[in-house]
Amino acid sequence: MITGAAPAPAALPDESGHFGPYGGRFVPEALMAALDELEQAYADARADPAFGAELAELHRSYTGRPSPLTDAKRLSPHAGGARILLKREDLNHTGSHKINNVLGQALLTRRMGKPRVIAETGAGQHGVATATAAALLGLECCVYMGEEDTVRQALNVARMRLLGAEVVPVCTGSRTLKDAINEAMRDWVSTVDRTHYLLGTVAGPHPFPVMVRDFHAVIGQETRAQVLELTGQLPDAVAACVGGGSNAIGIFHEFIGEESVGLYGFEAAGDGVSTGRHAATLFAGSPGVLHGARSYLLQDADGQTAVTHSISAGLDYPGVGPEHAWLKDSGRAQYTGVTDAEAMEAFRLLCRTEGIIPAIESAHAVHGALQLGRRLGPDAVIVVNLSGRGDKDVDTAARWFDVVDEPASVREHTTGADRTEAGGVAAAPADVTVGAPGEQM
Amino acid sequence: MEPGGAIVIAAAFAGARAEGRAALIGYLPAGFPSFDGCVRALHAMVEFGVDIVEVGLPYSDPLMDGPTIQAAVDRALFAGTGTREVLATVGEVARSGVPVLVMTYWNPVERYGVTRFAAELADAGGSGVITPDLTPEEGGDWLAACDGAGLDPVLLVAPSSTDARLAKIASVCRGFVYAASTMGVTGARAAVSAVAPGLVARVREVSDLPVAVGLGVSNGEQAAEVASYADGVIVGSALVRALLDAPSEQAGVRAVSALAADLATGVRRRSERRRGAAD
């Protein structure tokens, strides 16, 4: 724990991009000039009122901001009666919070005079958002995506291609998000003159963690005003899922200086942290350097990056943004793991109580909020960053809950009892069960 | 073999310079194609004219490397090559009497322990370390550890580096400065870089250290071209490729020997050119 005279977290990073011991730049020298250029371009843009005005107008007329705050009254009883408020980033254009950062960086790309953007994507949400912004601003777009993710998120691959982006499946390493980032870095180092790497999370070398945070800070700023208006107080707790950590930083940042507001990040515990098949980087990892910055990561004794697992492609990442590492060490935010099964149960519950199909990533935060509510009691006000919608996950969820009708020829051989049993796998401590007995999903 | 990296690496460059030629630096990742196969191939390289050996530390996320080295590194990792095996490889190859450096991404060093890594590498007979993703800004602890252990730290410069950065990087290097000749990842290329001569010249304006050029050299002809303007020629992917393409480890070692001989001839051709020019 870092205490005492440490700088206020809200004032970080320092000039060289450090959050205490975390952050910085660990990159090939060939990228240093591009990072300096980006840092300067971003500083100039921040100081230019026209840049901010253009971004704000895009968010109003294109993204659909401000995103609403939904009072989840039927979910509340499952959270010990605590008031659960959902920050609806799922309602943004393209279906997640990712568009906030993407539009900012795409405008910056145009400002730098570069005609091409590249991006990595895990669940496909950042890739879709980048392809969208590229179409909007007339930029070439190439998205790197782990081969395994292109299979489990096939719908998003199609969306990116419809938007005119090239999608490159990455077949190296674990064939997931971390390998897509490696491949995007390799592209960038070779094409940096005309290409901006539109990194999708608060990780990577400086200035990405601070820049991406700033573009997402609108989430927390809106949340503060909306919660005050609705409840007359600040929230007691803010909950968000954490993969790389962009949606979490986006909603946390506004509240870092508010000591009364608890900040809670929920990572993917996969099959359970004890099984080794998980992606709970802050909860179970150790400090190290990956993808250009020092932060926590999941690694073996030799510093090789560990293979991770999560049902959610967007959280299936062995690293995390350096500011989260700092928030963890300073004790300002708490991070815990949520298993696949727990997240899917929360997914089911949100569908059934509120009529909202969340992204599986966001369902991790919903589960976390339910636990928090039971601990904090019925007077608590808890905001959940509902970072994305679940359209992309319908196939995964349908298989998890076994709710897809099989063709009649197959169904004849499957008894209803079998299917009910399969549907009950996710289920359901008695106190959170909803719907009629025997109901599917 | 003397301990103290600064002496031996500088001596290797001085020796080559005395012969009016560039030094030849050959790379393989430890554990590829196997632990013993790597040691044999590196010894063969030295026998056929490599002046300085680079042992790669296989890493799960080698973002400076192209497909050839990635493939080799994946095989080495799959076979269980770790930091201990890298140090053991250095120990085996250092017996050949040429300087041996480790080429490693930063995280494995930090994980092993910065001081411990430097000390154990020096104990194993290593002379220096090339760190492709460590900048002077983040390298303070490492540079101190190298000082303490008598290792030469070698950082990279790139065509995009400003003059100020070239000076800063060269000032913390010892042994030589590694000039990445192209904006890109490792891998053999049909033509060597057109921007490399300018980069080497810019480094020479700010440093007296030898400048070695890497990224893309795959044959004696290209080695001769680079040797005409640089103090050292670094070859990696082409040597790895020779092993990847061979039907057996034995055949691979023979192919590495033949390539090393061709490259060694290449770096010596410069001296003929130079003498010709002088005459």
Nearby residues of A162 by Cβ (< 8 Å), 6 or more positions away = none
- At residue A411 the predicted structure's pLDDT band, cuts being 50, 70 and 90, is low
Chain A residues with CB under 8 Å of a chain B CB are: 16, 24-30, 32-34, 172-173, 178-179, 181-182, 185-186, 189-190, 192-193, 288-292, 297, 299, 301-305
- Please write the tens of the pLDDT for every residue from A115-142: 999 999 988 999 999 999 999 999 999 9
pLDDT exceeds 90 at position A4 = no
Q: What is the largest CA-CA distance in chain A?
A: 70
Better-scored residue on pLDDT, A383 or A440: A383
* Residue B158 to residue A29, Cβ atoms within 8 A: yes
Cross-chain residue pair A182–B82, CB shorter than 8 Å: no
| pLDDT value, residue A409 | 59
Q: How far apart are CA A343 and CA A351, in angstroms?
A: 12
Collect all residues of chain A within an 8 Å Cβ-Cβ radius of residue B83: 302-303
Encode pLDDT of A254-275 as tens digits: 999 999 999 999 999 999 999 9
Contact by Cβ (8 Å): A358, A364: no
> Is A173 domain-assigned?
yes
**Using only C-alpha atoms, what is the Rg of chain B?**
17
3-state secondary structure of A74: coil
Please tell me the distance from the alpha carbon of residue B218 to that of residue B236, in angstroms, as a whole number.
8
| ipTM for the assembly | 0.93
CB B149 within 8 A of CB B122: yes
The answer to whether residue A423 scores a pLDDT higher than 70 is no
Q: What is the pLDDT of residue B258?
A: 98
Show the beta-strand stretches assigned E in A82-200. Answer: 83-88, 116-121, 140-146, 166-170, 195-197
Q: Which residues of A are known to be catalytic? A: 98, 120, 387
Which parts of B48-195 fold into alpha helices (H)?
67-78, 83-94, 106-112, 114-123, 140-149, 163-172
What is the H or E stretch that residue B156 is in? strand B156-157
d(CA B60, CA A319): 13
> B191-200, long-range: CB within 8 Å, 24+ apart, which pairs?
B191/B222, B192/B216, B192/B217, B192/B222, B192/B225, B192/B226, B193/B159, B195/B159, B196/B159, B196/B226, B196/B229, B196/B230, B197/B229, B198/B159, B199/B157, B199/B158, B199/B159, B199/B161, B200/B229, B200/B230
Confirm whether A19 is domain-assigned.
no
Q: Which residues of A378-393 are buried (b: 16+ CB within 10 A; e: fewer)?
A: eebbbbbbbbbbbebb
The answer to whether residue A252 scores a pLDDT higher than 70 is: yes
pLDDT of residue A151: 86
* Structure token digits, residue A331: 């004790």
User: How many structural domains comprise chain A?
Assistant: 1
B interface mutation test: which of A31, A302, A308 has the most B CBs within 10 A?
A: A302
CB–CB of A283/A335 below 8 Å? yes
**Domains of chain B, start order:** 9-278 (3.20.20.70)
Q: Answer whether residue A146 is part of any domain.
A: yes
Q: What is the pTM of this model?
A: 0.92
Distance between CA atoms of residues A419 and A426, nearest Å: 13
pLDDT at res. B84: 98
Q: Which of A26, A181, A304 sits opposite B60 (nearest CB)?
A: A304
Nearest CA in chain B to A171: B67
A210-242 per-position pLDDT tens digit? 999 999 999 999 999 999 999 999 999 999 999
Q: Which of B2, B47, B65, B138 is catalytic?
A: B65
At B15, list the tokens: 């020796």
What pLDDT band is residue A418 in, cutting at 50, 70 and 90? very low
Strand order across the beta sheet in which A237-241 lies: A69-71, A83-88, A381-386, A237-241, A262-270, A333-339
Within a domain: A187: yes
Inter-chain touch B185–A190, beta carbons under 8 Å: yes
pLDDT digits (tens, 9 = 90+) for A349-390: 999 999 999 999 999 999 999 999 999 999 999 999 999 999
Element spanning B238, H or E: helix B237-245
pLDDT by 10s per residue, chain B, length 279 = 444 444 589 999 999 999 999 999 999 999 999 999 999 999 999 999 999 999 999 999 999 999 999 999 999 999 999 999 999 999 999 999 999 999 999 999 999 999 999 999 999 999 999 999 999 999 999 999 999 999 999 999 999 999 999 999 999 999 999 999 887 888 767 776 788 999 999 999 999 999 999 978 999 999 999 999 999 999 999 999 999 999 999 999 999 999 999 999 999 986 555 444 433
Determine whether the interchain pair B111/A26 forms a contact, defined as Cβ–Cβ distance below 8 Å: no
Does residue A170 surpass a pLDDT of 50?
A: yes
Determine the distance from the C-alpha atom of residue A142 to the mean position of all C-alpha atoms in its chain, rounded to a whole number. 21
Look at residues A144, A28, A289, A171 and name the one whose alpha carbon lies nearest to residue B67.
Answer: A171
pLDDT of residue A272: 97
* Complete edge-to-edge strand list for the sheet that includes strand B211-214: B152-154, B128-130, B100-103, B52-56, B23-29, B232-235, B211-214, B177-180, B156-157
Q: Nearest 10 degrees: CA dihedral of A146, A147, A151, A152? A: -30
Where would I find the H helices in A253-359? 281-284, 322-330, 340-354
**The domain that contains A104 carries what CATH number?**
3.40.50.1100
Residue A16 within a domain: no
Sole residue written with tokens 């073999």? B1
Instruction: Decide the pairing of beta strands A237-241 and A262-270.
Output: parallel
> Is the model's pLDDT at A430 over the cut of 60?
no
Query: Closest partner residue to A30 among B74, B109, B158, by Cβ?
Result: B158
CB contact (8 A) between residue A289 and residue B110: yes
CB atoms within 10 A of CB B115: 14
Place of tokens 């080295």: B69
Q: Which of A25, A28, A179 sits opposite B137 (nearest CB)?
A: A25
The mean pLDDT value for A15-23 works out to 96
DSSP H or E run through A269: strand A262-270
pLDDT for the residue numbered A439: 40
Contact B114, B145 (CB under 8 A): yes
- Please check the confidence at residue A336 and state whether its pLDDT lies above 70: yes
**For residue A323, which phi and psi values (nearest 5 degrees)?**
-65, -35
Q: How many CB pairs under 8 A join A and B?
A: 113
Separation CA B182–CA A232 (nearest Å): 59
Predicted local distance difference test score (pLDDT) of residue B270: 60
| Nearest CB partner across the interface for A305, out of B61, B165, B183 | B61
Q: CA angle, corner A68, sides to A64 and A74, nearest 5? A: 140
Query: B233 is written with which tokens?
Result: 């020629």
Q: What is the pLDDT of residue B272?
A: 55
Search chain A and give the residue with CA nearest B159: A30
Domain that holds residue A69: 60-203+215-395
